[in-house]
Amino acid sequence: MKKIVNSAVTRRAFLGGSAVAATLGLAACGGSGSSTDSGSSDSAGTEGGGSLTVGSAYSPSSYDPANCSSAFCLSANSNVMEGLYNIDFTDYSVISGLADGDPTQVDSKTYEVKLRADAKFSDGSDVTVDDVVYSFGRAQADGGMYVSFLTMFDSVEKKDDTTVTVTCNIENFSLLKERLAIVKIMPSTLSEDDAKAKPIGSGPWMYDEMSDTYVVLKPNEHYNGEFPAKDTEMRIESLTDTTARTTAQQEGTTLVTESVPPESIEQLEAAGVSVDQVDGFGTRFIMFNVKKAPWDDVKVRQAVMYALNTDQMVSNAFSGLASIATSYLPKSFVNYHAASVSYTYDADKAKSLLSDAGVTPGAIQLRTTDNAQVVAMGTQAQQDLEALGFTVELVSDKSPATYAAIDQADDSWDILIAPGDPSCFGGDTDLLLNWWFGDNVWMKTRCAWNTSDEWKKLNGLMSDALAASGSDQQDLWNQCFDILAENVVLYPLLQVITPTGSWRENANPDGVKVSSDFKGIGTTGVQLTGITTVTA
């Protein structure tokens, strides 16, 4: 048997020479704070012993590690739950989790993973191989949110009391650790209701207080991994109102805040806050109800794409901190390929395509979520589509209500504009494709494209690419990007830059900051693995 070390096929390449690259760099695990010496100093301050306070742009819902998609809950869970491996979201590299070292390869499809010795959950119970098998079983159950990410695993079984045997259906699978990292390990005794409300994990932190507006975490005294908590508590506040979130950061009530409003960056920097601006996968996408006319006609969908003044959206809704999509992936990703079709504002071309399709514009319903930037995009889209001849009813609502209405599948809606970012689960290209275009609710119910020949071809190419490597893999992905751009059933309109604020270079008014290795990330949430408070 031989040891293998997986490296991510897809790592984000930040724009060379840009302020973003200069600020963040690309060192693997650089944002993880691998030092575990207690009481060490950071810029002549004392590390630890304080309260790590975070302002979140989202609200909590279900924390269930087997089916979590809430930005708030995913970010909070990352401090509480461990996978066999974990992801460093500053560069999507793999860092240590519950596994003791790298997998051991038994044959081309079989691997063995040993658990970290004496690992315990925060309730003091031992982490067992049975817990690992149970957690994978829950994550792979029919209807589960992560099923399409885990199709390469034929089985995850117990070999002995310290070893898990993983059997893949892809030979020499290059993304083994990245995909093992998706599943967070929980006690097999934890009920589904308890997992949704207050999961128990083996990470450096554990949940203490839970509410609809904040959570408080305290150190897990049983944690024996690489990144122990050094502070007395972590408090994550749900501050969905942009003004409230900005004010809390400026006043120092929060040490870290995500999703800094673009118009507030100068204000926070003037107060002494550091603002990292990371070019990530985060998208503002458009989705068509292809079950109904005229959206079952590709020419009509393309007409809408050309009709939208995305330059205005970038300027008005994002203060320039976004770019118009030229492919499914942003240009900063190493697997980027300029798609065969790109869409910039061209009202004449939009009208011509609509005429070619023989469609007379009528009344339509355009839905958006209540994200402030998306609402602004929706207002612009309403104007642009009415200029094309449609009568547009604009409906904006919270995400759960928006998707509940769409999932009714009553064809009451026509077009959706919403935010989306599956890179909160990982950064490899197959995962990013699978979130929307795998055999899941998006393709079965929401967009309902899964019966088309184009979708079948796309998924065949995705499967082939997952088993390929190098230039062959890139060529297959390029074909996927072209299919998505040409069909535009669900496609990025804009790809955004994510600003994260922190009291890092300077202390807040109370004389506290976060350790200098904190970095903003290009997806939702914040990464606090190994990060501590620093008090002057």
pLDDT tens digits for 389-421? Answer: 999 999 999 888 999 999 998 889 999 999 999
Q: Is the pLDDT of residue 320 over 50?
A: yes
Q: Label residue 363 exposed, middle or buried (CB < 10 Å: 0-12, 13-18, 19+).
A: exposed
Residues 6+ apart with CB under 8 A from 315: none
What pLDDT is recorded for position 160? 98
What pLDDT is recorded for position 409? 86
CA 480 to chain centroid = 21
Residue 152 — pLDDT band, cuts 50, 70, 90? very high
| DSSP-derived pairing of the beta strands 51-56 and 256-257 | parallel
Q: Which residues pair with 365 in a beta bridge?
A: 393
Residue whose C-alpha is closest to residue 158's, from 115, 189, 124, 105: 115
Count of beta carbons in the 10 Å neighbourhood of residue 62: 17
Residue 42 — pLDDT band, cuts 50, 70, 90? low
SS3 (DSSP) at 355: helix
Please compute the mean of the pLDDT values over residues 471-496 and round it to a whole number: 97
Alpha helices in 188-339 (DSSP H): 192-197, 242-251, 265-271, 298-307, 310-318
For 303, the token pair is 């007409």
What pLDDT is recorded for position 346? 98
- Specify the pTM: 0.85
How many Å apart are CA 319 and CA 246, to the nearest integer? 16
How many Å apart are CA 413 and CA 406, to the nearest integer? 7
Q: How would you classify residue 520: left for phi > 0, otherwise alpha for psi between -120 and 50, otherwise beta?
A: beta
DSSP 442: I
What pLDDT is recorded for position 440? 87
Residue 22 — pLDDT band, cuts 50, 70, 90? very low
How many Å apart are CA 178 and CA 84, to the nearest integer? 10
Q: Which residues pair with 168 in a beta bridge?
A: 153
| Percent of residues, the chain, with pLDDT higher than 90 | 86
How many Å apart are CA 274 and CA 276, to the nearest integer? 7
Which residue type does 363 have?
A
Which residue type does 487 have?
N
Q: Label residue 81 exposed, middle or buried (CB < 10 Å: 0-12, 13-18, 19+).
A: buried
| Percent of residues, the chain, with pLDDT higher than 70 | 92
What pLDDT is recorded for position 512? 98
How many Å apart are CA 222 and CA 127, to the nearest integer? 11
What pLDDT is recorded for position 51? 98
Q: Please write the tens of the pLDDT for every residue from 330-360.
A: 999 999 999 999 999 999 999 999 999 999 9
Which residue type does 321 have?
L
What pLDDT is recorded for position 43? 54
The answer to whether 168 touches 111, Cβ cutoff 8 Å, is yes
The answer to whether 437 touches 420, Cβ cutoff 8 Å, is no
Please compute the mean of the pLDDT values over residues 114-136 and round it to a whole number: 98
The answer to whether 184 touches 65, Cβ cutoff 8 Å, is yes
Q: Is the pLDDT of residue 33 over 70?
A: no
Q: Please write the tens of the pLDDT for every residue from 45-77.
A: 899 999 999 999 999 999 999 999 899 999 999
Rg of the chain's alpha carbons, rounded to an integer?
23
Ranked by mean pLDDT, the top range of 144-148, 443-447, 455-459 is 455-459
Q: How would you classify residue 146: left for phi > 0, otherwise alpha for psi between -120 and 50, otherwise beta?
A: alpha
Count of beta carbons in the 10 Å neighbourhood of residue 410: 8
The answer to whether 215 touches 227, Cβ cutoff 8 Å, is no
Please compute the mean of the pLDDT values over residues 432-444 and round it to a whole number: 93
What pLDDT is recorded for position 143? 84
Q: Check residues 486 and 41 and name the one with the higher pLDDT.
A: 486
Task: Report which secondary-structure segment, H or E, holds 24.
Answer: helix 19-24
Residues 6+ apart with CB under 8 A from 224: 116, 118, 119, 120
Please provide the average confidence, as pLDDT, over all residues in the chain.
Answer: 91
Half-sphere exposure at residue 99, Cβ-oriented, CA atoms within 13 angstroms: 25
